[in-house]
Amino acid sequence: MAAAAAAAGGVPSQQCFLLSVTGQVESARLAGADQLYCRYQLHGGPDWDIVTGLEEGISQVSRPSQDARQLLVWNLPVEVSYKATNPYGWPQLIVSCYGPDLFGNDVIRGYGVSHLPTAAGAHRVTLPLFVPESTSQLQKLVSWFTGRRPELADASSLATGDGRDVMRVRSQGYVTCSFQVVTKDLQRLGYDNGRRAPAGAAGGDLQPAGGGDGRPG
Partner 1 sequence: MVQRQPERRLQGELRQTRPAMKSVSWNHRAAVTQKSIDESESMLDQIRSRRGRRREAGSQDESLSRSVQHDDTSEPDETLTFRPSDSVRADVTDDVTDAAGGGEGGPSSPAGRLGKPDRGGGGDSPRAPPPLAPRRLSAAGQETFRSQLKKRLSLAEIKGHGRAARRSRAQPRTSRFDTLREGGTSRAYEDYMRATAAGRTGPSSVQAYDFFCRIWEDPPSERRAATAPATPREAGEEASGAAESLSLSELLGGEQLEPVTRHVAPMILSRKAQLAREADIYFTPSPIPIPPEERLPAGGQARDPAEDGIYVPRRPHLAGRNLHKLENRLLHSSDRHVRQLVDFRLQSEETWSWFGEDGQLLCLPDPLLSRPRHRDYRDVSEDALTDYLPASMEAPRPADPEPTVSAADQPQQLQLHVHLVAVRLTEHPLFSKEHRAAAGLEQLHREYTALVDDDTVNRLTQRLWAVRRARDGVLSAALQLPSADHGDHSGDRADHSGDHGDHTGDGAEQVQRRRIDDYTTSIQRLREQRDAAAAQQRRLCRSILRRWRELKVLREDQGFSSTPLRLAVRELPSDSGQETELWQRELRAELEELRTEHDRSKQHLDAEYSQQLSEWRDRRRQLGPDSDQLGPRPQPPAEFDPQQVLADIEARATGNRRPPGEPKLAFDLLDTHPITATADCPKPEQQRRQAVSRCQLSVRTLIGGREVSHTRPQPLSQQLVSELHQQLAVRLRAAPEALQLEVCEEGTRRSTRTLAKLRLPSPASHVTERTALPEWTAFSAAGSGPAARGRLQAALYWGVDEETGSVLAPPADPTAEGAAAAELAAPDPNDPADASMTANMPDPCAAAEAGDRPAPLRPGCDGFLTGAPDPADSARCRLLRLRDAGVPEFRHVTMAPLRDQQVPQQLFTAYQKRLEAQSAAGAGAEEAGGDGGESARRSVLQYQLRIKEMVARRLRAAQKHKRLEDMVREDEVPDIGTIGSVFGSLLSVRRPLNPPRKQKQSRPLVDLQGQELQLLCHVVRAFNVPVRRDTDAVRTDYSRPAPAAQATVAQSSLLPKVSVRPFMELTFQRQTVRSNVAQGPNPTWNQDLKLPVTLPPQGVADLHSLDDVIHLSLQDEMLVDLLDDDRLQDTNVHQRIERRWLAELTVPFSTLYINGRVEGTFRLNTPPLLIGYDCDVTARGTLFHLTESLPTGQTGTYVTVFITLEPPVNVPPTVQEHLESMETEKLLAHCESWTRAFRRDYPGRRVRCTVLDVTGRSALVCRYIRPLRPPDALLAACSNEEDQALLIARFVSLIPNVSDVNFFSGMYDLWTTCQEFLDMQAGDEEEHAILLCNFFLYLGKRAYLVLGSGIPEGLTAYVLRLVQYRLQSDPVLARPGSGIREGLTAYVLTDEATNRWLWNPCTGQRSSAAESYSSLLSVGCLINAENVWANTQVYAQPSCISFDVNLVGDWRPLFTARQPAPAEMASVQAETLRYSVTDTVRVQADAERLERRLRDHLQNWRQRTNWTPWNRPCSDALRRMLPLLERSTFTPAISGAQLADEQTRLLANIHATYKVCGVPLNVPQHSQEAMVEALFALGVHRNDSREAEFALAVHMEPYPSNIVAVWVYVAALTRRR
Q: Where on the chain is the footprint of partner 1 (CB under 8 A)?
A: 10-11, 14-16, 46-47, 49, 84-86, 88, 132, 134-136, 138-139, 142-143, 146, 148, 150-154, 156-157, 162-163, 166-167, 187-190, 192, 194, 196-197, 199, 203-204, 214-217
Residue type, position 194, single letter:
G
What is the spatial distance between Cα 136 and Cα 145, in angstroms, rounded to a whole number?
14
Q: Measured from the CB of residue 18, what is the shortest distance to partner 1 in angstroms? A: 13
- Least distance (Å) from partner 1 to the CB of residue 28? 22
- Report the nearest approach of partner 1 to the CB of residue 163 (Å): 3
Measured from the CB atom, the residue of 92 and 187 that comes closer to partner 1 is: 187
Instruction: Give the residue with the Cβ less far from partner 1, 89 or 100.
Output: 89
> How many other CB atoms are there within 10 angstroms of residue 117's CB atom?
21
Based on C-alpha coordinates, what's the Rg of the chain?
20
Q: Is the CB of residue 159 less than 8 Å from the CB of residue 94?
A: yes
Output the smallest distance, CB 60 to partner 1, in A: 25
Amino acid at 39: R
In terms of CB distance, is 37 or 82 closer to partner 1? 82
Shortest Å, Cβ 11 to partner 1: 5
Q: What is the largest CA-CA distance in the chain?
A: 67
Instruction: Give the residue with the Cβ less far from partner 1, 3 or 167.
Output: 167
Residues 90 and 82 sit within 8 Å (Cβ to Cβ): no
| Cα 17 to chain centroid, rounded | 19
Q: Which H or E run includes 143?
A: helix 137-146
- In the bound state with partner 1, the residue whose beta carbon lies nearer, of 34 and 157, is 157
User: In the bound complex, what is the minimum distance in angstroms from residue 195's beta carbon to partner 1?
Assistant: 10
Integer Cα distance of 67 and 45 in angstroms: 41
> Which residue's CB is nearer to partner 1, number 75 or number 121?
121
Which residues lie closer than 8 Å to 215 by C-beta, 6 or more apart? 188, 202, 203
